[in-house]
Structure 1
Amino acid sequence: MIGYVALLRAVNVGGTGKLPMTQLVRMSEAEGFKNARTYIASGNVVFESDRPEGEVRYALEKRLRAYTGKDVGVIVRTAAELADTLARNPFSDSPGSRVTALFVDGTLPTDAIDGVTGITNEKVRLGKRELFVLYPDGMARTRLRIPSDRRGTARNMNTVAKLAEIAATLS
């Protein structure tokens, strides 16, 4: 069995995309995923499966489309990949609440940070399948716009750390 973390895009954010986390667990279990658990109400689910990443993503997206009536993006990482993302955080000296990992499907192109606009004092670094962003003054007033965010989903490093910790308990 492979430990996975699925990160849903635009779920339970600012009153949009309401999805009870108990429902997300039920959907995961209906797909045969084992030991499904959620973490905070922002579309994070950890589970085990023998299926490859692409099949896991497709299965969840299909169930979410049936439930919500619209496409919901799902980014999937193995437990090991999530732990690696945490270890590669280039801003590890900064508070986890001020650093995000913007997860995307596939490999990031080398020009992924080209076209970023609105930078004041934020810092953006290229990862493997994520961009790391430091918001020294927090995210509330940022004008930062990242073209890759249209196909990804961000989690702060506190959340990434907790998800990696939960995922590490899976076989």
Structure 2
Amino acid sequence: MAITRYAALLRGINVGGHKKVPMARLRPLVEGLGLTDVRTYLQSGNVTFAADRGDEASLAREVADALAGEFGFPVDVLVREHTYLKAVRDACPFPAADLAGKQLHVTYFSEPVPVERFAAVDAAAFAPEDFRLGDRALYLYAPAGLGTSKLAVQLNRPALTKGLIATSRNWNTVVKLVEWTEGA
């Protein structure tokens, strides 16, 4: 089987002192699964690796099970291969090259989201903030950053994300994950 490069996106770790997953412990944990070329990015739960087996879903289960066993709490994990990460980056509907990384975010979803789910969100009411849906992703333009975004709060309501794993990354991280998963 060919070697494929992936990124695992861990949801809700190392936030406000909860669900601590030190990257120094995450790397050997992922390597212990037989995955290679393991790298972590920042403290926000991003790990890239190469695998010669499995698919996104089975690798996400493996990483999630290993995390639960090691740390004693569940962690939602999305695994995405390089081709998908690159397609998300390339399909950005906002002028990413003209924006600071903190102004643009991607929320990755565990499955495709019907447009109808977000139809009731009146983006114009939050201007200049804006959002667009993509392939298992939502792009958010928040010119003042995510921390003050009223649109981000609206988009993260439980009714809109029900039944999904959803985890967001700023544009700098989106780009770095594409770079780190290039080549196998």
Return the TM-score normalized by structure 2.
0.85
Instruction: Find the partner of 1:64 among 64, 67, 87.
Output: 67
Instruction: Find the partner of 2:22 among 13, 16, 20.
Output: 20
Shift of 1:64: 1.2
1:121-160 alignment runs, 5 A limit: 121=127, 122-144=129-151, 145-146=154-155, 147-148=160-161, 151-160=165-174
1:1-20 alignment runs, 5 A limit: 1-20=3-22
Partner of 2:57: 54
**Count of residue pairs brought into register by the alignment:** 170
Kept in 2: contact 1:46–1:167 (CA 8 A): yes
Instruction: Find the partner of 1:98 among 89, 103, 126.
Output: 103
Runs of at least 5 residues in structure 1 that lack an aligned partner in the other structure: none
141-150 vs 45-54, which moves further? 141-150
In 1: Cα distance, 2:114 partner to 2:50 partner = 29
Shift of 1:116: 3.8
Kept in 2: contact 1:113–1:124 (CA 8 A): no
CA root-mean-square deviation = 1.9
Check 1:132–1:160 CA distance in 2 against 1; reply closer, same or farther (3 A cut): same
In 2: Cα distance, 1:143 partner to 1:97 partner = 15
61-70 vs 20-29, which moves further? 61-70
Q: Which has the larger radius of gyration?
A: 2
Check 1:161–1:155 CA distance in 2 against 1; reply closer, same or farther (3 A cut): same
In 1: Cα distance, 2:48 partner to 2:24 partner = 13
Shift of 1:2: 0.7
Letter in 2 for 1:90: P
1:61-111 per-residue CA deviation (whole Å, 9 max, x = no partner) reads 111111232221111110111111111111124322211100011212222
59-68 vs 123-132, which moves further? 59-68
Letter in 2 for 1:22: A
Check 1:142–1:82 CA distance in 2 against 1; reply closer, same or farther (3 A cut): same
Check 1:61–1:86 CA distance in 2 against 1; reply closer, same or farther (3 A cut): same
Indicate the structure with greater helix content. 2
Runs of at least 5 residues in structure 2 that lack an aligned partner in the other structure: none
107-116 vs 64-73, which moves further? 107-116
Partner of 2:77: 74
